[in-house]
Every structure is written in structure tokens, then in C-alpha cells.
Amino acid sequence: MKRYSEYKNSGIRWIGEIPANWDVVKLKRICRIKRGASPRPIDDPIYFDDNGERYWVRIADVTRSNKYLVECEQKLSPLGIENSVKIDEGDLFISICASVGKPCISQVKACIHDGFVLLDRLPTPYKNYIYYIFVLELPCHGLGKIGTQLNLNSETIGNIDIPLHDNIEPICAYLDRRITKIDELLADLQSQADLLDRYKRELIADTVTHGLNKTVPCKNSGTDWIGDIPTHWDVVPLRAFLKIVSTKNNVELPLLSVEREKGVVDRETEGSESNHNHIPDDLSNYKVVKAGQFVMNKMKAWRGSYGVSPYDGIVSPAYYVFNLNFPNSSFFNYAIRSSKYVGFFGRDSYGIRTDQWDFKVEKIKDIPFAVPPVTEQQMIVEYLDNKIPLIESLIADINKQIEKLKQYRQIVIHDAVTGKIKVKEKQDNGN
């Protein structure tokens, strides 16, 4: 790919140099930035109506969308429509709350609330181009923050500097071709990773409930979620192995967290970057955890956020900590964290919203647990300890490829929209 013959400094850090015949303009100079609004209260508090003419865009609709918003789950009543900000097919809008800075082109007639801004009166040739600029996320990086959130609003969006020149159609056509191919590769890699992850989960679930010898006679476990188990295994209520404890005031220990994918982790060294839960200055009320104890985030137990701790540490007062009386804690951890058991914790959690569901600790008496002989527990642990790291290594390799391809995707977009490469007006070879 060729470069332009002459460049100049754009004066904008994320843009860098641009071709000498390009300009840098404020976004508000080429369109009207219009923030969404929620419908004003009406006599009937139920705004959503299956007979409405327009959809109501929610954050979840945009989060699961790629370039285009193709569907929404809810419609708005005619009165709600009159009091809302409308978007039509082909309109470009930007999220300014969750999924901050994410652009989306609507393919439906809809209305947006104040978590979005509409790039209104944007000339049609620019819509695809501006979409790609916001895909970079870089234009938003220099904006102020409130806490951990970018401070995006109509004014800050409008004042974003963008590179621009008279003929952007070839750039958009080039990016449409290149990004489509890259996205197809990403989807294929993600599918491979998902299949391996599914295989891992199914392997664990099958092994901890059926054992290694698939030819032994089986019996009904008494619950459909666990299914048949070997006849020489026992089914014991979970409470037989767990005793709740609560020791506090040991702030010198490391802070632990409990995650669905990883179980109990050291929050500082292994915790997920997405965990933004506030940590108070005074940790004296935090509960002490000893290695080998079972720890549960009671508000997320329904998602599988529990496990046997490999560490000494402290956890939130909102967690449950149990002494574990089980012959092989590694087998217990593999089993209880498998898909065979997560459903029980969802069944026995209660609350108004799922993000506030609370597991009732007394319900452990109602959760059955399939127990093989001690020697067989160890054989299963050794088998899984050998197999699971191999599968996870394959998944990690694929995820590395995905991350590199995502980085390349950003480079392709950045180089095209800032003129680092010269896109031909006609592409004969499809590159």
C-alpha cells in the first residue's frame, strides 16, 4: 500500500501526521450532536407497547450489536415516541454510558435515551467513515473522566477532532473489505476457543459425576441435574461437608476475590480487570480465609462464583466462608464448580433482580453431592489435572491470536482514516 507524497503535523496526538491536503475539523462542524432523552411521564406508566411504531434502544441492544443495530427487544408507545429522540435507518449514534464511545449504525426506526448521542444531519458519505473513527476508541481517550467513566456528553463528543478530506468513499470501501475479512477470521478463532471451552466444561462435568470407567453399572442419582452415577458412589447432602465460619480483624492478609471463571483468586495478582468493586479503607470487618476453606460470593453463587481457596487471605463481609470436611478438596472443587452443580445455587438464590440474588445458606442441606470412593477421587483429580491444562493452553494460544488480530484490525483502520496509507479509488485486486 502506497503513502502520500507529503505530510503535515495534525496537532492531534492520536491522529499524528496527515497528508498535506487533509484537514482536521471538529465533529460538530459537520453534524449536529443530539443527546437522547427518556420519554416524559404519561398517565399510563407502561411505556412499552407491542403495537408501538418504534423500538426503544437499550444498552443491552447496542452491547450485543456489531456495526449495525439490527434489532431491539422493546417497542415504545405512540405517546412515548412523541417525547423521545428518534433515529432512523442509517443514522449513526454513539454510546456515552455503558460501552462508552461505542458507535452503532441503526437499521431500525427507534428512539434513544440520554445514554446515547445521535450524530444528526451527518452527510451520508461520512457516516461509515465516522463510524470507523469511533471504532478506534482513540478519539475519546483525551476526554476527562468522572471516576472510572469517560466524561462523554454532547459537548465533548462535538469537540472531538477528526481527520477529513474530500474523497472518503474509497477509504470506507477499502475498510469494509478488509475489516469484513478480519472479522471472519476473528469469528472463526472465537468459535474454536468457545468449542474448546465447552469441551473442557463438559469433560469436567462428566468425569466428576460418572467417573473414568464408563462401563461400570449406574444408578439414578435422584436429580436430573446430576443424572446417573456409578452404583458404588454415594449421594450426600452438601451440608455434611460444609460448616460456616466467620473470623475477622486480620487486615495484614492479602485481599482475595471469588470469580466465576477462576474461583478464589488473589485480587491484586490474579483478579479480573473488570472487577471495580470498591475497597474500603477499613478492612477489619473482612472475613479471614484459610487455604482449603470453601468461599462463596453469596450474591453471585447462582453464576458459580465460589470455590476452594488455595490461599490464606481475607474476603468481603458479604461472602460466606466454610470449613470443608472432604477427603479430597481438589475433587470437591472440580465437582462443585462444574455445570452439574451451579444450577442448584441458582435455584436457591432469591432477590428482586438477578444482580442482587442472595443464596440462602441454609439451603445447602437441599443440595445433593455425588461422592466416589477416596481412591477414585484421586484418580479423577490426576486425570483432570493432566487434561485441563492442555485444553486451557490451546485456548490461551487461540486467545493470543485473537488479540493480535484485533490489534492488527485497529492498525488497519487507523492507517486508513489518518492517511498513513493511500487507498486507491479503484481496487482491482480486492486488497
CATH topology assigned to domain 234-273+282-371: Adenine-n6-DNA-methyltransferase TaqI; Chain A, domain 2 (3.90.220)
Phi, psi of 359 (to 5 degrees): -75, 130
Phi, psi of 86 (to 5 degrees): -90, 145
- CA–CA distance, 41 with 188 (Å, rounded to integer): 46
CATH topology assigned to domain 23-164: Adenine-n6-DNA-methyltransferase TaqI; Chain A, domain 2 (3.90.220)
pLDDT digits (tens, 9 = 90+) for 111-122: 888 889 999 999
pTM to 2 decimal places: 0.82
- β-sheet with 294-297: strand ranges across: 242-245, 319-324, 294-297, 306-308
Residue 47's pLDDT is 44
What are the distances in angstroms from CA 232 to CA 147, 374, 378, 382? 57, 12, 16, 20
- CA–CA distance, 416 with 412 (Å, rounded to integer): 6
Residue 72's pLDDT is 85
3-state secondary structure of 160: coil
Domain with CATH 3.90.220.20 in the chain: 23-164, 234-273+282-371
Residue 340's pLDDT is 95
Residue 409's pLDDT is 96
Low pLDDT (below 70) residues in the chain: 1, 39-53, 76-83, 141-151, 271-278, 352-356, 425-431
